[in-house]
Structures are given as C-alpha cells and as structure tokens.
Amino acid sequence: MNIHSARSEPDVRRQYYEKIGRHSLSPLWESLHSLVPKTPTTLAVPVLFNYREVMRPYLLEAGELISAEEAERRVLILENPGLVGQASITNTLYAGLQMVLPGEVAPTHRHSQTAIRFVLEGGGAYTAVDGEKTFMTPGDLVTTPGGTWHDHGNDSDEPIIWLDGLDIPLVRALDAGFAEAGEEQTQSESRPAGDSEARFASNMAPVDWQPDRPSSPIFNYTYEKSRDALMTVAANSQIDACHGHKMRYINPATGGAITPTIGAFLQQLPAGFETRSYRSTDATVFSVVEGTGESRVGDTTLRWQEKDVFVVPSWKNVEHRADRDAVLFSFSDRPVHEVLGLWLEERGEK
C-alpha cells in the first residue's frame, strides 16, 4: 500500500458509505463493537429521589395546581437523568408518584401496560380492578395487570400517595401498547372487596379456576402479611452476603413473578449490615420502607431514608449498608430477562 492509496482509502470508503446510505444501508464493520458491546452499556444512571424534601412537597403543590379531574392521573414522573425526555426511570420501566386527595377519583381506564403500586402514605383509598376494590395501606403492593380495567378513589379523609411502576418503555420498545378509557368514571362493583384475597391469597383456589392472564390473580399483597413473612425468615435463616434477607413476591398460579414484565421483591437489612457487591442485568427501582442507610451504586453513593426512591441500573455493582434496621421494596424487569434467557448475575468476591 503506497502513501497515495493510504491517504485516499478513507475517502473512497466515505463516498461508498454515503452512496449506500442513500439506500438505507450502512457498513456493520464501522459499528460492530458498539452494536454488540462487551458488557451492558446502559445510559441510565444511579439516582435517588428524596421523598420528604422533594417529591412529597412538590406533589402536594400539584394538588393545588391541578384538579384530579383535569389531570386524570395526578402523577409526577420520576425520570432517570440519563434518559431525558423518555419518561423512563430505567431502560424498560417507568416510575411515578401518584396522589389522590380525599373525595377524588382517578377515572377508569385500561391499557396493555402492566402497573404495580407501592403505597407510601395514607390509608382508606382504594384501587378497583375488574370490578373489585382493594383498600390500600402503606407497604401494600397492588397490581393492575395489563388489560384490566382499573380506577382509584379516595373516600377517606387523608391524601394517599403511592409509587407507580409500569412497563411503559418496554411496551413502547415492542410497539405493543393499546389504551382505552372506560365508559364510567368509576367501575360498578361486581365482587366485594377482599374477594381475590380469599380466592387466591390463601394457598387455595376455586376448584375449577384456570388463570386467564399471565399476571397474578392476587391484586393486593398486603404489607402486614409480607412483612411478617420476611421478618420470620430473617429471624430463622442465615443471611445472604449480597442481599440480606430477600424474598420475591410470587404469582401462586405459576410460582413465577407477579407479572410477566415486572418482578417485585422485599428485603431486610439489619442495622450495621453491609452487603457484598452484586450486579445483575435487570435494572432495579428501590423504595425504602423502613430504616436509613446508603447504597453505593457503581461510583455513586446514595443516602436514603424512608419513602425515598433510588435506582440501580443494569449491571452496575451495588453495595447496601443499613444504619438502622431497614426494609427495602424493589421492582425490576428481571422476569423479562429470565424468560428470554438473558438474565445474568454476578456476586462479588468477599
């Protein structure tokens, strides 16, 4: 190769790239290693949303700024600073903080997107799914699976605030979303409150029942029950170096995750306990239920207290430390990774 040709080669290629570009063709060899990276290269960043000083006051302000009727849903979107403009807290998940004031309703609608709700404060408000209500207490995990009619209302005398988690970015990536408003603001009650709990949350099911959707038939995993289970396990078991004591909520019709797109977890960290480094391909949103502490995520340290929300992106190492006995709720897209054969985890060395 002489100097001349060495010089002109880039030009030849550039011209070729321009020419084929006009036909929507491009050379793989210029981008292979960014298209197929050595390890996950997420744009999402570790971030913490402070509840007491930031999220809560602003949400209350929204309560004055816009009526529930006008807002349809009075929700502040928690957006990952690495994913600006995408209404995403991780690559595949959306999170928002929703408030329903006494006397308000969030009207009936349904959509392909699956939602979970984790209650932060209040008591006495309800979510209705397919004609059945459940009353919501802090720490409860309520599911509104894709395709189900749902509405919310608050007949109590205090505001209710919860964290919403939805698979909006994932459904968008799949171009598979449908939505529909209900004919009525509020669904008429076809089954009494607590019916699902009795039917499905007691390790029994109606004799001829067959699941008609991939999500759990339980739509309220009450904190009372979940916390009891976690604390009993914590008292009885050897602690896991990476997780403390960690349980996953299950769909009793399959033993798998509560929904096909969002898995949910509850874990206990004793005061003073520091977890060993851990990472996995799913990206996780944490909500602090009890205690205070800090989590080191990649190179970022996030200090948390009750009701704060924080994010561990895909394949970022995380180490938690609890100052006081802590309980963390979390949700992630792990079920999607698992069912597609893409889930991977790595437990740090001692």
The answer to whether the Cα torsion of 2, 4, 5, 6 is positive or negative is: positive
Interaction residues for a copy of itself, span 112-151 (CB under 8 A): 112-113, 146-147
Pick one of 261, 268, 275, 295: the residue that binds a copy of itself (CB under 8 A): 261
Q: Does 49 contact a copy of itself by CB under 8 A?
A: yes
Q: Does 161 contact a copy of itself by CB under 8 A?
A: no
Q: Which is nearer to a copy of itself, 169 or 291 (CB)?
A: 169
Nearest to 226 by CA among 138, 156, 111: 138
Q: Does 314 contact a copy of itself by CB under 8 A?
A: yes
Q: Does 60 contact a copy of itself by CB under 8 A?
A: no
The Cα-based distances of 120 to 12, 138, 141, 227 in angstroms read: 61, 5, 10, 15
**How many positions of this chain bind a copy of itself (CB under 8 A)?**
127
User: What's the full length of the chain, in residues?
Assistant: 350
Question: Closest separation between CB of residue 60 and a copy of itself, Å?
Answer: 12
Task: Provide the b/e sequence for 159-191 (b: ≥16 CB within 10 Å).
Answer: bbbbbbbbbbbbbbeeeeeeeeeeeeebbeeee
Q: Which range, of 121-129, 152-160, 199-207, 285-293, touches a copy of itself by CB under 8 A?
A: 199-207
Q: Which range, of 154-162, 217-225, 268-276, 319-327, touches a copy of itself by CB under 8 A?
A: 217-225
Nearest to 317 by CA among 241, 240, 242, 263: 242
Q: Does 18 contact a copy of itself by CB under 8 A?
A: no
- Residues 80-99 vs a copy of itself: string with x where CB under 8 A? xx-----x---xx-x-xx--
Question: Closest separation between CB of residue 19 and a copy of itself, Å?
Answer: 8
Question: Closest separation between CB of residue 125 and a copy of itself, Å?
Answer: 18
Question: Closest separation between CB of residue 15 and a copy of itself, Å?
Answer: 10
Pick one of 60, 124, 130, 197: the residue that binds a copy of itself (CB under 8 A): 197
Contact assessment for residue 51 and residue 309, using Cβ atoms and an 8 Å cutoff: yes
The residues facing 119 across adjacent strands are 162
The Cα-based distances of 73 to 126, 161, 244 in angstroms read: 14, 12, 36
Tell me the pairing of strands 160-166 and 94-100: antiparallel
Q: Which range, of 208-216, 270-278, 294-302, 320-328, touches a copy of itself by CB under 8 A?
A: 208-216
Tell me the pairing of strands 150-154 and 125-129: antiparallel
Question: Closest separation between CB of residue 325 and a copy of itself, Å?
Answer: 17
Q: Which range, of 155-163, 269-277, 310-318, 320-328, touches a copy of itself by CB under 8 A?
A: 310-318
Q: Does 163 contact a copy of itself by CB under 8 A?
A: no
Q: Does 10 contact a copy of itself by CB under 8 A?
A: no
CA distance linking residue 311 with residue 297, whole number of Å: 8
Interaction residues for a copy of itself, span 279-298 (CB under 8 A): 281, 283
Q: Which is nearer to a copy of itself, 73 or 276 (CB)?
A: 73
* H helix or E strand, kind and range, residue 115: strand 115-121
Contact assessment for residue 318 and residue 296, using Cβ atoms and an 8 Å cutoff: yes
Q: Does 255 contact a copy of itself by CB under 8 A?
A: yes
